[in-house]
Every structure is written in C-alpha cells, then in structure tokens.
Amino acid sequence: MQSSGNSVPLGATAGAGGVNFSVYSRDATGIDLLLFDAAGDPKPSHIIPLDPANRTYHYWHVFLSGVQPGQIYGYRVHGPLDPGRGLRFDATKVLLDPYGRGVVMPEHYSRVAASQPGDNTATTMKSVVVDPSAYEWEGDAPLKRPSARTIIYEMHVRGFTRHPSSRVAITKRGTYAGLIEKIPYLQELGVTAVELLPVFQFDPQDSPPGKINYWGYAPISFFAPHQAYSSRQDALGPVDEFRDMVKALHRAGIEIILDVVFNHTAEGDHRGPTLSFRGLDNHTYYILEEERSRYANYTGTGNTLNANHPVVRRMIVDSLRYWVQEMHVDGFRFDLASVLTRDASGRVLPDPPVLWDIESDPALAGTKLIAEAWDAAGLYQVGSFIGDSWKEWNGRFRDDVRSYFRSEEGSLARFADRFVGSPEVYGHKQREPEQSVNFVACHDGFTLNDLVSYNNKHNEANDEGNRDGADDNRSWNCGVEGPTDDPEIEQLRNRQVKNFLAVTLLSIGVPMILMGDEVRRTQGGNNNAYCHDNELNWFDWTLVAKHADVHRFVTLLNERRLLRSVEHERQRLSLAQLIQQANKSWHGVKRGQPDWSHESRSVALQVDMKQERAVVYLILNAYWKPLDFELPHLSSGGPWRRWIDTGLQSPLDIVPWHTAAPNSGATYRAQARSVVVLLAGLKETSA
C-alpha cells in the first residue's frame, strides 16, 4: 500500500508502518522506485512509479507501508539523453539514492556495465533502507578533545589488519571489527585520534585495468559506510559494525576523524559509469565545461562536484550532520578542500557558501574540520583557507622539514619557522597555535622509511610507466637506493626516521603520523600506492618487534606530549600571542649566536615552560658532522639532563621525561644529523 509521502527528509526514512522515499531531480520526466530481494537480482521484485502529481517542486516522493529497514532499493530515472545540454538520463541504469544510508554490492559488480549502453540491474550497487535510531549507543557521544591535546594517526581500515601477521581472525581482517581488536595497540602507542582514509561507499573498480581502488578516493554514496569493510554479510551490517568501532574507540579515549571526499565522485568523466548523480541531475551535481558534454576536472579524477550549488551544498552539510549526529564521528579531513571554494564556472569564490555553511552549522560546532587546502588545478590555499575554525594540512611543514634533514642549503630559516607553528604562514590570522596540522609523511607519498631509503619513486607496479606520483619528494636514501645490509647506512636511516618523528611531535601544532611509520613500514619506494590491495600497503605486524626501538621512541614522545601543560589552550591565545609571550631564544654552536646564513644547517632553541617549572634546550643538527654546542649556565651549578638524543642507540635515544640523565660539561656534542633535547629546572638557569 502506498501514499503520496513527503518531500522531507530526503532519502529513505523509516517511520511508523513503512518508509518515506524522497529524491531530487529537476529535469526528470519520470522516476521509478525499484525494490529488490537481493543485491544481485536481475529484476526488481516491485516497481513503484512515482506519481508526478505528488511531486513537490523538484522532489519526487512516495510512502510505502510495510517496507522495513534492510530493504534493498534503487531508482530508474527517465528523461532526455542530451549531453550537449548537460543532460545524461538513462532509464536502463539502476541508480543509488544520493541520501541512501546503506549500500549493497552484488558479487559480480561491473563498472564497465554501468559505462556502456544497456541494462545493468544485476551488476550494479543498490541502496539499503536504514533506521539510524535502531542502535544502542550506551551513552556514547563524540569526545570533543581539545586540538592542543590531539595526536592524529592516519590509517587505512583494511590495511591496518589485513596482513596475516595481524593475528586478527580471518573473517575480521581488514574490517571495522578487525580494527576494534587492535585498539589496545593504538592506546599503547599513545595516539588520541585515528584519521581513516575514505570509508564512504566507493567504487573499487575506479582504477586502471587489472588494479583496484585501494585508498577509496572514489566516493559514490556520501551517507553509507563502505560495505567491503564490514565482516557482516547482511545489508545492515556495515552501518552497525562501523558504529561498534566508533563506540569502542571512544571507550578507549580515541577520536575518529573521517577523510571525506566532497570534490568528485566515482562517475568520472564523459566516458564514465552512470551510478547515481549523473543519471539523476547531471548539471546540478557537477561543474560542466562550456561544452556541456564535458566535465570540469579540478580534481585530476575526471569530474568535479558543483559544491556551491544549493542542492549539492545541502547534501554535503546533511552528510556531515549525519556522520556526527547518527554515527558519532569526531571530525573530518576534507580531501582537496580548495575545490569547495569554486563556483559553477570554476572561479574561486572569496566567501564560498558551502564552507560557511559547514563552519556555522550548530550541529557541527566543536567538530574537528581539517582542510587539505589545495586542488589538482594549482590552487594552493595553505595559510589562507577561509573560515575561523578550520585546521589545515600544512604541506609547507612537510616540505621544509624534509629539506632541512637532507641538509639542503637555505632550508634552516624555513624549518625553524615551521617548528614554532609556522607564524610566517599563520601568524597574520590571529588563530590558535593548532591551526597547523604538522606531518612529514601521509598516505600520499613516501612512508618515512622510504623517505630515507629512496632518492627516486619506484611506481613500476602501478603499470603507468613510473609517470604517476610526485617527483618532488625531497627524499634522501642515505647512500644506497633501497634496502641494504650496510649497518652504518641502516643506523643513519633509523636516526633520520627518529629525527622526523621527534620534530613532528615536538613542534607547535597538531601532529599527525602515518600508519606504520612508528615501525618503519615500507612500500618499496612506491609513492602512489593507491591501486594495491596487497602486502605493499598492508601493515606488517612483524615490524613491531623488528623496529621496537622506533616504536618505543614514538610511544615515549606521545606520552610526554599528552602530559605537558597546555596553558595557551586555557587562555585561548593565538599563535602570534603565544610566540610573543614565550620566553624563548635562538642559539648556535655559540650560545646567543644563531647562524641563519644560507649555508647553516644547525640551530638551538631554549624555551621556558613556566607551568611545568622547567626549561628545554633543543639542539637540531642537520650537518653531516658532529657539532659541539655551548650550553646556558645553570645558576645552581646543577647539570642539564638529557631526555632525547637521536644520535644514541636505544634505549638511550629517549628516556621517560622524569628519568632524564644528567649531562656534565659546558657543551654538548650533537652527533651528525641528530635531534637533542636537554632539560633543567626553571630556577636553575641563569639569565
């Protein structure tokens, strides 16, 4: 039995006695709602034409009594196929609901069939009716941890536990449930947030022939968790298993940040498949070229979402609200966020409506918002991204820290600026010190191990002639390309990895480390491993024992970072105010004489930590020889104490903060390419 239903809310909404379906299409001439018994059914069990007489404005809707959560459905949309006018209706294709909360994928899913003429009912993804209220959260809520006390761990759901060495049950490897089993590892490591590579339902076949889209930057449903990451086979399994994971992470004190892709979809360019948006309202959802049959490509993936169109804007904000309110996530990292500043013609807007909608939405208040502030068309907005609450991936931190530790001339001053929060980039905005998300490695590029093991990318396995991936890696192989048995080179590489980790976790800003960098995970020199679902990308858990010294180093750094007093968080100081008020001074090998010349590769920084009644003396030596640094005099005559020295072997490379060993003498020898941190009581230092 059916009735006219309502235009709101969009999507499939379970209620008393049935489900209300509502979908947007401005130019469709007719829409059929299709119900299925199974994901791979070649024909629907029921076809419900949506009566145009019940259409409200551009919203087509119907209420079906007796339909329950778990029902599989899709749409068939009729209308003109006229690419020259931007219209791409194709009634032979079954379409996903843009607001569908769940997705099922048939065993024989085919992206090719969705790209070619003809019916693809049996081989396409379909939506699932979900009742978000049918879950027991047991009092769970987003944690709202202050950014000043946040340490981010960027990770891949599948890659984290897929390797046989994970010792996760076979049926749970590579799933949300598998990640739950490894939460104790994350707790021990000391991270406070996991940033998951895309978990919105994506098209795994959006990749070169014979490859797979492993990273997940090919979204096709902005409300549904990726079905393949669930260990459960039922239609509602991914939704509940994802929430089980969120709840378990929160119980462990760990936030969950989603890497979200609102800049493009898996439907690709004019040759791509018709899966959802293209067949519903092509010129609403996408930015089209002046030749309306072609898609603007500011993303490098074939199409660009028309993010500032009112309908698309609403969908993006509704999606974010859903993941916060119904799925309890703590934040979002926006892939190629600068795309969201473009209008329907691709021009950059000074005040993009979608970004202000996100920023000002009360349901998203307190949610972490992180922008990758650039796009594939050359727009680079690091330091100038719109809004008051957005954090930014600081690509300049990555580049300048890499340059410094491979001993580039002229890199010292830029490196020093990045270490103290990048005031050159952010100081003008009067924003909090944590606006900068500091990282040296992320999913896109070399791992830390490969950064110190390869001068050149080695992407041959991607079958693109090694042309893909970045050429500017600012890496240094320490003398040999790739793996080596030379103990001196291996020791240097280990030290360089610790240098990168130390600077990331000691600098001002929000630190982020890449999954496996704490145990020197390698991708064999591949800096664009997006298409490999194999051991090239999976976390090899045998490395935890093999590189236990690096793991210990990171664990103690994280422990200290979380124990420190963050007075500026309470006072709400901006980065500029914090630096102005800080009692700090720069030095060189001679106290009070920092060398900022083009050739200099070393510097020291003294900082008073008044709340902790301690002073820190940080020595950074990227020179290829040891250097002796004069130390400030201590009025008490007592010694400085050594907390960190990456030039020493474990366990002397780092010790628990309160057990720092005394150092005798008026100087300290910093080994070649090393980081040293010395401590003293605040009252012990002379002026």
Domains and CATH numbers, the chain: 151-191+394-582 (3.20.20.80), 583-684 (2.60.40.1180)
**pLDDT averaged per 10 residues, the chain (length 687):** 92 96 97 98 97 93 97 98 97 98 97 97 98 95 95 98 97 98 98 98 95 98 98 93 98 98 98 98 97 97 98 98 98 98 96 97 97 96 93 98 98 97 89 93 98 98 95 97 97 98 97 98 98 97 98 97 73 72 90 97 91 88 98 83 97 95 92 96 52
Q: Are the CB atoms for 124 and 100 separated by under 8 Å?
A: no
List phi, psi (to 5°) of 354: -65, -35
Contacts with 295 (C-beta within 8 Å, 6 or more apart), sequence order: 269, 270, 286, 287, 288, 289, 302, 303, 304
List phi, psi (to 5°) of 153: -120, 105
Q: Are the CB atoms for 668 and 661 separated by under 8 Å?
A: no
Distance of CA 373 to the CA centre of its chain: 13
HEC states along 484-540? CCCHHHHHHHHHHHHHHHHHHHHCCCEEEEECCHHHCCCCCCCCCCCCCCCCCCCCC
Whole-prediction pTM value? Answer: 0.97
Let me know the angle formed at the C-alpha of 8 by 5 and 11, rounded to the nearest 5 degrees: 90
Write the Ramachandran bin of 268: left for phi over 0, alpha for psi from -120 to 50, otherwise beta. left
Let me know the angle formed at the C-alpha of 493 by 488 and 494, rounded to the nearest 5 degrees: 100
| Residue-level pLDDT at 665 | 87
CA dist list (Å): 388 to 258, 332, 355, 430, 475: 20, 15, 11, 10, 34
Q: Are the CB atoms for 657 and 643 separated by under 8 Å?
A: yes
Radius of gyration of the CA atoms of the chain, in A: 27
* Residue 418, Cβ density class (10 Å: 0-12 exposed, 13-18 middle, ≥19 buried): buried
Q: Which has the closest alpha carbon to 418: 402, 406, 430?
A: 402
Strand 193-196, strand 255-260: pairing: parallel
Distance of CA 528 to the CA centre of its chain: 15
| Residue-level pLDDT at 612 | 75
- For residue 210, give the DSSP letter: T
Q: Are the CB atoms for 2 and 10 separated by under 8 Å?
A: no
Q: What SS3 state is found at 586?
A: strand
DSSP string, 441-467: --SSS--HHHHTT-SS---GGGSSTT-
Q: Which has the closest alpha carbon to 118: 93, 94, 97, 100?
A: 93
User: In whole angstroms, what is the distance from residue 653 CA to residue 632 CA?
Assistant: 22
- Where do runs of H (alpha helix) occur along 536-622? 543-546, 548-563, 567-571, 575-581
User: Residue 85 half-sphere exposure, CB side, CA atoms within 13 Å?
Assistant: 8
| Residue-level pLDDT at 682 | 56
Give the count of beta carbons closer than 10 Å to the beta carbon of residue 298. 22
Q: Are the CB atoms for 307 and 263 separated by under 8 Å?
A: yes
**Single-letter residue type at 85:** R
Distance of CA 206 to the CA centre of its chain: 20
Neighbouring-strand partners of residue 661: 642
Write the Ramachandran bin of 421: left for phi over 0, alpha for psi from -120 to 50, otherwise beta. left
Please give the structure tokens belonging to residue 400: 């300048």
Q: What SS3 state is found at 143?
A: coil
| Residue-level pLDDT at 524 | 98
Q: Which has the closest alpha carbon to 640: 619, 623, 620?
A: 619
9 cis-preceded (ω within 30 degrees of 0): yes
- Residues marked active site are found at 335, 372
